[in-house]
Structure 1
Amino acid sequence: MTISEEQLFTLADDAGFRAAALATFRFQAAACAPYAEYLGLIGCDPASVGRVEEIPFLPVGLFKHREVYCGGTPPEAVFTSSTTGGGEPSRHPMRSLALYERAFTEAFRAFYGDPAGWSLYGLLPSYLERKGSSLVYMVDRLIAACGSGGFYLRDYDALLRDMAADPKPKILFGVSYALWELAERYAPELRDTVVMETGGMKGRREELPKAEFHRILCDAFGVGCVHSEYGMAELTSQAYSAGGGVFRTPGWMRVLTRDVNDPFDLHGPGVRGGLNVIDLANRWSCAFIQTEDVGTVFADGSFTVEGRIDRADIRGCNLLIQ
Structure 2
Amino acid sequence: MENIFSIRTEQDFLTAAIATFRYQYENIEIYRKFVDFLKIDAETVDSLIKIPFLPIEMFKNHQILDENTTADLFFQSSGTTQMNLSKHFIADPALYEESIYRSFEKFIGKPEDFIFLGLLPSYLEKQNSSLIYMVDYLMKKSAKPENGYFLYNHSELSELLTKLKDKKVILFGVSFALLDFLDTVASSGLSISGSEHLTIIETGGMKGRKEEMTKDELLKILQDGFKTEKIYSEYSMTELLSQAYSLGNNEYQCPEWMKILVRNAEDPFSYEKEGRTGAINIIDLANIHSCSFVATQDLGKTLSGDRFQVLGRIDHSDIRGCSLLVS
Structure 2-normalised TM-score?
A: 0.92
Gap runs ≥5 in structure 1? none
CA positional deviation for 1:163: 2.4
Letter in 2 for 1:262: D
1:139 to 1:190, Cα distance in 2 relative to 1, 3 A: farther
CA positional deviation for 1:54: 0.8
CA positional deviation for 1:270: 1.3
Q: 2:5 aligns with which of 9, 12, 16?
A: 9
Report the secondary structure of 2:183's partner residue.
helix
Query: Who is 1:171 aligned against?
Result: 170
Residue 308 (structure 1) aligned with residue 302 (structure 2): no
CA positional deviation for 1:127: 7.2
Within 2, Cα distance between the matches of 1:286 and 1:314?
A: 22
Deviation sequence 1:264-293 (CA, Å, 0-9, x none) = 111121111100000000010000000000
Which one is further off, 306-315 or 157-166?
Answer: 157-166
CA positional deviation for 1:73: 2.6
1:250 to 1:71, Cα distance in 2 relative to 1, 3 A: farther
Which one is further off, 202-211 or 16-25?
Answer: 202-211
Report the secondary structure of 2:298's partner residue.
strand
Within 1, Cα distance between the matches of 2:123 and 2:319?
A: 22
Report the secondary structure of 1:289's partner residue.
strand
Query: Who is 1:19 aligned against?
Result: 15
Query: Who is 2:250 aligned against?
Result: 245
Deviation sequence 1:118-160 (CA, Å, 0-9, x none) = 1111102497642110101111111121222211111111112
Q: 1:112 aligns with which of 108, 116, 119?
A: 108
- The number of equivalent residue pairs is 315
Letter in 1 for 2:169: K
Q: 2:241 aligns with which of 236, 239, 247?
A: 236
Which one is further off, 288-297 or 154-163?
Answer: 154-163
Contact preservation (8 Å) 1:117, 1:168: no
Contact preservation (8 Å) 1:58, 1:288: yes
CA positional deviation for 1:316: 2.1
Contact preservation (8 Å) 1:176, 1:200: yes
Which one is further off, 182-191 or 27-36?
Answer: 182-191
What does residue range 94-109 of structure 1 map to in structure 2 within 5 Å? 94-109=90-105
Within 2, Cα distance between the matches of 1:297 and 1:200?
A: 22
Within 2, Cα distance between the matches of 1:214 and 1:157?
A: 22
Within 2, Cα distance between the matches of 1:241 and 1:36?
A: 34
Query: Who is 2:148 aligned against?
Result: 150
Query: Who is 2:132 aligned against?
Result: 136
Within 1, Cα distance between the matches of 2:101 and 2:295?
A: 25
Considering only aligned residues, what root-mean-square deviation do their CA atoms show, in Å?
1.7
Within 1, Cα distance between the matches of 2:299 and 2:67?
A: 30
Letter in 2 for 1:250: P
Report the secondary structure of 1:285's partner residue.
coil
Query: Who is 2:86 aligned against?
Result: 90
Q: 2:46 aligns with which of 24, 47, 50?
A: 50
Which one is further off, 153-162 or 270-279?
Answer: 153-162
Within 2, Cα distance between the matches of 1:274 and 1:236?
A: 20
Letter in 2 for 1:164: T
Query: Who is 1:272 aligned against?
Result: 277
Deviation sequence 1:23-77 (CA, Å, 0-9, x none) = 0000101111111111111111111111112111100000001111115232130
Query: Who is 2:117 aligned against?
Result: 121
Q: 2:290 aligns with which of 285, 302, 322?
A: 285
Within 2, Cα distance between the matches of 1:51 and 1:204?
A: 42
Within 1, Cα distance between the matches of 2:198 and 2:204?
A: 19
1:178 to 1:127, Cα distance in 2 relative to 1, 3 A: closer
Within 2, Cα distance between the matches of 1:121 and 1:71?
A: 38
What fraction of aligned residue pairs are identical, expressed as a percent? 39
Which one is further off, 64-73 or 115-124?
Answer: 64-73
Residue 208 (structure 1) aligned with residue 213 (structure 2): yes
Contact preservation (8 Å) 1:76, 1:96: no
Query: Who is 2:189 aligned against?
Result: none
CA positional deviation for 1:174: 0.2
Residue 37 (structure 1) aligned with residue 33 (structure 2): yes
